[in-house]
């Protein structure tokens, strides 16, 4: 007869880590989200060896109180949720309290942090879930997290990693999604000793888009805006004369979170129907804001998929807004002006 056993907390964390932390880019996504949630106005990311050797993120956010540090790395521990009701009214990027626990279970993690209330910072290291004592350290207000030797104790995961340059590419994409969603935050990304992105804070979203995708894309963008009840849609769509051979340049952010949503992508395709050749995909940068009660973000561990209460309404709002834009724009004249 097989024996049923309760799994050890460490094994539970390793299994949970498998869900959230698939590759170095997942670590980057989680840590950047934490820095945004901490109210940082400046965030720096450095990676070495495609993030397999080192990921370092430093922010000037609120920091963590010394007594709270053990909880920050504990699983199911979060400052972002209190009651079950909060789960249906999420205003932060994180809420599961899983990321730091998962990451520290499968890497060597060092956390240095200081709040504005104290003069000295605190440092904690965790290796494969084993934490050292918290020691005082000098550091500015905010949080610095270093993650080394990712998956050192999960050889199977490690084997599935691609080359450092492929992993660095995934990290760039994770960084792009977050830096695009928050133009009011200053971001820097270094890979090895090369500065890959240096992005000053800006009030103009198009400046941030231009910094990532260059003049060809930025100059082809048309502004769109619509508000329907409590759903707002703002952003840019590209002139049909500038398109892509895949749908990867369709950035949709819902309440600050980058999402992939089949239905919205379909609405986009419908709006451009007849304007693009077969096999070409529109480019868009859209920010949607919806009352958090109307969307369930707790569908998927990485929260990239969400569930809408009124998906149909959103679909037609997007389609209508874009159709209206195309009907009221002289696209042929615009195309001639696109360099
Ligand atoms: P979640 O983000 O879902 O709450 P995490 O494991 O990512 O879970 O983080 C646990 C807690 O640690 C957060 O709720 C937050 O209070 C704290 N924390 C994590 N990163 C930072 C940071 N960069 N600055 C300040 N606090 C942080
Ligand atoms: Mg988090």
Q: What is the pLDDT of residue 147?
A: 98
Residue of 19, 27, 34 to test ligand 1 pocket, by largest number of atoms within 8 Å of CB: 34
- Residue 333, pLDDT > 80, answer no
CA of 117 to the centre of ligand 2 (A): 23
**Which residues contact ligand 1 via a Cβ below 6 A?**
30, 34-35, 38, 59, 61-64, 72, 78-80, 94-101, 143
Q: What is the mean pLDDT of residues 166-194?
A: 98
Maximum average pLDDT range among 21-25, 81-85, 304-308: 21-25
Assign 36 to helix, strand or coil.
Answer: helix
Q: What is the pLDDT of residue 96?
A: 87
User: Could you tell me which CATH class the domain 214-337 is placed in?
Assistant: alpha beta
Distances (CA, A) of 290 to 135, 194, 230, 248, 297: 43, 38, 6, 23, 12
**C-beta neighbour count of 67 within 10 angstroms:** 9
CA of 27 to the centre of ligand 2 (A): 10
Q: What is the mean pLDDT of residues 7-23?
A: 87
Ion ligand 2 residue ranges (Cβ < 5 Å):
34, 94, 99
Q: What is the mean pLDDT of residues 328-335?
A: 82
Listed range (61-75, 78-92, 257-271, 276-290) with the worst mean pLDDT: 78-92
Q: What is the mean pLDDT of residues 309-315?
A: 92
**C-beta neighbour count of 37 within 10 angstroms:** 20
Percent of the chain with pLDDT over 90: 82
C-alpha span between 248 and 281 (Å, rounded): 9
Q: What is the pLDDT of residue 15?
A: 86
Going from N- to C-terminal start, the domains of the chain cover 9-199, 214-337
C-alpha span between 83 and 88 (Å, rounded): 10
- Residue 337, pLDDT > 70, answer no
CA of 31 to the centre of ligand 1 (A): 8
> Could you tell me the fold of the domain covering 9-199?
Heat Shock Protein 90 (3.30.565)
Listed range (1-5, 6-10, 170-174) with the worst mean pLDDT: 6-10
* ipTM of this complex prediction, to 2 decimal places: 0.99
């Amino acid at each position: 007869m097989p024996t049923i056993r309760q799994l050890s907390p460490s094994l539970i964390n390793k299994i949970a880590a498998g869900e959230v932390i698939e590759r170095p880019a997942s670590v980057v996504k989680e840590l950047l989200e934490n820095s945004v949630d901490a109210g940082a106005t400046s965030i720096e990311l450095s990676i070495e060896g495609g993030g397999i050797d080192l990921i370092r993120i430093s922010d000037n956010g609120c920091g963590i109180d010394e007594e709270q540090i053990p909880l920050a790395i504990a699983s199911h521990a979060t400052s972002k949720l209190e009651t079950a009701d909060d789960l249906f009214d999420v205003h932060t990027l994180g809420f599961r309290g899983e990321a730091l626990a998962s990451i520290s279970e499968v890497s060597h993690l060092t956390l240095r942090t200081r709040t504005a209330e104290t003069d000295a910072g605190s440092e904690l290291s965790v290796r494969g879930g084993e934490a050292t004592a918290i020691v005082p350290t000098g550091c500015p207000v905010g949080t610095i997290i270093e993650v080394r030797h990712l998956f050192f104790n999960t050889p199977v995961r490690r084997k599935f990693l691609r080359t450092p340059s492929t992993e660095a590419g995934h990290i760039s994409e994770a960084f792009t999604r977050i830096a695009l969603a928050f133009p009011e935050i200053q971001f820097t990304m270094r890979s090895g000793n090369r500065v890959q992105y240096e992005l000053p804070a800006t009030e103009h979203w198009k400046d941030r888009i231009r910094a990532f995708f260059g003049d060809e894309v930025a100059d082809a963008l048309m502004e769109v805006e619509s508000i329907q009840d409590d759903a707002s849609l703002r952003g840019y769509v590209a002139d049909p004369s500038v398109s892509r051979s895949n749908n990867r340049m369709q950035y949709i952010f819902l309440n600050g979170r980058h999402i992939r949503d089949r239905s919205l992508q379909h609405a986009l395709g419908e709006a451009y129907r007849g304007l693009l050749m077969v096999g070409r995909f529109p480019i868009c940068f859209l920010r949607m804001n919806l009352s958090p009660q109307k969307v369930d973000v707790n569908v998927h561990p990485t929260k990239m998929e969400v569930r809408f209460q009124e998906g149909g309404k959103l679909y037609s709002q997007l389609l209508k807004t874009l159709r209206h834009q195309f009907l009221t724009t002289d696209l042929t004249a615009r195309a001639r002006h696109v360099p």
